[in-house]
Amino acid sequence: MDKPPERYDAHLTDFKGIAYIEGIDRYQDLYTRSIEDVEGFWAEQAREYLSWEKEWDSVLHYDFEAGNVEWFRGAVLNASFNCLDRHLGKGDNRVAYYWEGDDPAESRQVTFRELYRQVNRFAGVLKSRGVRKGDRVVIYLPMIVELPVAMLACARIGAVHCVVFSGFGSEYLTDRIRDSRARTVVTADGSSRGGSIIRLKENVDHAVQRCPDVDTVIVFDRCGLKPALDGRREIWWHEAVAQPSIPDHVAPEPMEAEDPLFLLYTSSSTGRPLGLVHTHGGYLLYAAMTTHLSFDLKPHETFWSTPDVGWITGHTYGVYGPLLNGLTSVLFEGVPRYPDFDRYWSIVAKYRVNKFYTAPTVIRLLAQHGTENVTKHDTSSLKLLGSVGQPIDPEAWMWYHQYPGRGVCPIIDTWWQTESGGHMITPLPGVAAIKPGSCSFPFMGVDPVLIDPDTGDEVRFPNQEGALFIRKPWPGMARTAFEDHERFRETYFARFPGLFFTGDAAKRDEDGYYWITGRIDEVINVSGYRMGPAEVEAALVLHPQVTESAVVGFPHRLKGQGIYAFVTLAAGSSKSDKIRKELIDLVRTKIGPIATPEAIQWADGLPKTRSGKVLRQLLQKIAAGNFDNLGDTSIISEPAIIENLIRERMGIDAS
Ligand code: PRX
C-alpha cells in the first residue's frame, strides 16, 4: 500500500464552486467572527438553522469555573418540530431513512411524512402512559426505525430520552435505568446482528426486577420471539400505537432552550458512568450546523453515518443532524461483516450514498479482507468520507481513500466527544489541504488551547504536545451530569480554572493543524467505543474467586486499544483457563461484548503506592510490553510485585 501524501488537496478543486465554505480566507473570516463576536455569530446561526417558537432574550451566559453554561436564555423551541413538522408540505415525501436490515432481504423506506406520523402516534402512547415533560425514558432498541421514532416522540412531549446501546448487557442497562430514575423503558423482543439474535427483552426483565420504579415497558416485535407480556406494565408497541384513543397529532411541547433533550451515559476515568445532559437549543443548533458544513451536505444527497445510535455519533449524525437539515440517510441494523465483508459497500451502491462516515477500526477490519469486497460494488456515488472515534493511521487512511474513495474522496477526520455534542476539530471540504492523520482546524466557535502539563503554561512551540483544553463555550456542549453537577464541574473544569478539559492530548504544527495524540486520562478507546476501567473492574470482581483487578488499555492493531486486565485471585484459587473463560463470559454478559478483555494476566499483587492507589500508568506500560521506562518505582509499597508482573507478561501473547 502506498503511503498517504503529506498534504492532500485535490478536493479543493473538486469542491470548487460547490462547497458551502470555500477557501481558507472564508473559513478564517467566519472562524474569527465566531470567536470575537460570539453572541452575534451564534444568534445568526440560530436563526439560520432552527425554527424558534420564541427568540432568546440573551445569547450566552457562562462561568467556566463553576461549570455553568447557558445558551439562548428565554428562547422556546421543540426538537421534534424542528426535525419533522417544519419539513412538512415542502417535500415531505422525501425519504428520511433508507432502512436496511441485518438480513439483506429486509429493507424499507420511511418518508418524512411517515416518520412524522409514527412519532406523533408514539408520542400519544407515551402520554397515555403518563410520561410528562422532564421524565426520563430509557430506550434500548436495535438500529431500527423505531429507535429514532422513540427518541423524537420523547422530544415531542418534552421527555428526556436516554438511549442505551443495545449491545450492552443487563448490568449496564440496570445502572442506567437506576441512575436516570426512568420509569419507562422502550425495547424490542430481540435484535438481529450478524445473523444471530440477541434477546433484549430478557436483559430488560433482568434490569426491571431490580428497578421497581419502572411502570411501563413498551416492547417492539422485531424478531417474533413472542415473550409473554403481562399487559399491564409490559405492552406491545404495535398494539399500543393502534389504539383508537391514540391521536394522530400531538402538539409539540414548548421547550426552553436549556431544557434537557437527552441524557447519554459515557465512561470517565473513574467511577460510575456519567449521564451527560444535552439541551434542546444549543445541541440542536450545533448538530444541524456541523452536519451541514463538515460533510458539505446538499439537499438531494444521501448520507450514511454507520455508528450505532446508542452512541453520540448516532445521536448527532444518525438522527438529529440529518433530520434537522431535512436530509435522507441510511439506517443499518447489522454489522459490516455480515453476510460478508462487502456489506457496507453493497449498501453504498444500493442507495447511492454520497457521504459516508465511519470509524478507523471498521476500515482496518475491512482492509484485512481484500479490495475486491469494495471494487465489486459501484461506489462511484461517494464524494466524501468521514472518520470518527480514533486517530486514523496512514494505512487505514490510504485504503479508505483508494478503494471506497476511488482515490478521489477527501477524508474528513472529525475529532470530538460525547461531551461536545458535535465536531470540534475537523477539516471542512473545500477549505484547506488535508494532512492525513490530522483533524485540521477548529470548527466555528471552538477555541482550543494546549497546556504543558509540567508547567501549566500554554505550549509555546509548534509540534509540542500539550493537554487539550477549550477556552470558550460552544452551543453543543453538555451542560451537566444528570443530578450531579459537582461531578461535572470536577471532571471538566477543575484542572485549570476557566478552561474545559477534554481528556485528550494534542499537538499543533507550524501550519496550525491539530494532531490528536490520545487520551491522557484512564479512559480506554476500544474500536472507537469508550470504556472506563472502573466499569470493567467492577464486573471482574463479581467473580467469587477474584479479590482485585486493574484494567488498562494497551495498543491493539485492529481496535486501536484493547482491554488488558490484571486479576488477583483469592488464595488457593487455581489460575486456570476455566476461570479466565468465566471472567470473559462475566464481562460479556454484564457489560457487553465490546468490553471483552483481550488479555487477562494473573497478578499475585497490584503495584500500589503506600496509600493504596493502584499505579495505572505503570500497568499500562507493562500491558504494552514496554518495560524500559517504568518511571519512579520507589513509591511502590512492594517492589517485588513489578518483577512478577513483568515475568508473567512476557508469557502472554497480546497484540
Ligand atoms: O480520545 C478522543 C477519541 O474519542 C474520544 C471521545 O469518545 P466518545 O465520547 O465516545 O465519542 C466518540 C465519537 C465522537 C475523544 O476524547 N476521538 C474521537 N474522535 C477522534 C478521536 N481521537 C482521534 N481522532 C479523532 N478523530
Give tens-digit pLDDT for 454-475. 889 999 899 999 999 999 999 9
Tell how far the Cα of 372 is from the centroid of ligand 1, in angstroms. Answer: 30
Exposure pattern of 123-157 as b/e (b: 16+ CB <10 Å)?
Answer: bbbbbebebeeebbbbbbbbbbbbbbbbbbbbbbb
pLDDT of residue 51: 98
- Does the C-beta of 522 come closer than 6 Å to ligand 1? no
Query: pLDDT class for 2, splitting at 50, 70, 90?
Result: confident
Residues 400, 462, 422, 73: what is their CA dihedral angle, to the nearest 10 degrees? -170
Over range 490-500, report the average pLDDT. Answer: 94
Confidence of residue 635 (pLDDT cuts 50, 70, 90): confident
CA distance 540 to 551: 10
Calpha distance 528→650 (Å, rounded): 28
Q: Look up the pTM and report it.
A: 0.95
Atom of ligand 1 nearest to the CA of 519: 1
Interval 569-623: pLDDT, tens: 999 999 999 999 999 999 999 899 999 999 999 999 999 888 888 888 899 999 9
For ligand 1, say whether the CB of 524 is within 6 Å of any of its atoms.
no
CB of residue 623 inside a 6 A radius of ligand 1: no
Nearest atom (ligand 1) to Cα of 418: 9
Assigned C-alpha cell, 284:
440542536
Identify the pLDDT of residue 273. 80
Q: Is 23 left (phi over 0), alpha (psi -120 to 50) or beta?
A: left
Q: How does DSSP assign 187-256, residue by residue?
A: EES-EEETTEEE-HHHHHHHHHHT-TT--EEEEE-SS-------SSSEEEHHHHHH-TTS-S--PPPPEE
| Residue in 400, 417, 492, 520 to alter for ligand 1 test, most ligand atoms within 8 A of Cβ | 417
Q: Is 520 in the pocket of ligand 1 (CB under 6 A)?
A: no
Cβ–ligand 1 contact at 388 (below 6 Å): yes
> How many angstroms separate the CA atoms of 472 and 452, rounded?
19
The grid coordinates listed for 373 are 469486497
Torsion angles phi and psi, residue 636, rounded to 5? -80, 135
Q: CA angle at residue 70 from 65 to 76, to 5 degrees?
A: 170
Residue 109 has pLDDT above 90, yes or no: yes
Cβ proximity of 522 and 551 under 8 Å: no
417 lines ligand 1 (CB under 6 A): yes
Nearest CA to ligand 1 atom 25: 415
Phi, psi (degrees; rounded to nearest 5) at 236: -80, 140
Whether the bond between 339 and the residue before it is cis, its omega within 30 degrees of 0, is yes
178 CA → ligand 1 middle, Å: 27
654 band by pLDDT with thresholds 50, 70 and 90: low
Report the chain's terminal Cα–Cα distance, integer Å: 22
Residue type, 258: E
Count, residues in the chain = 655
DSSP H helices in 440-527? 485-493
Say yes or no: CB of residue 527 within 6 Å of ligand 1.
no
- Written as nine digits, the cell of 294 is 463538515
Helix (H, G, I), strand (E, B) or coil at 98: strand
Question: CA 423 to CA 549: how far, in whole Å?
Answer: 35
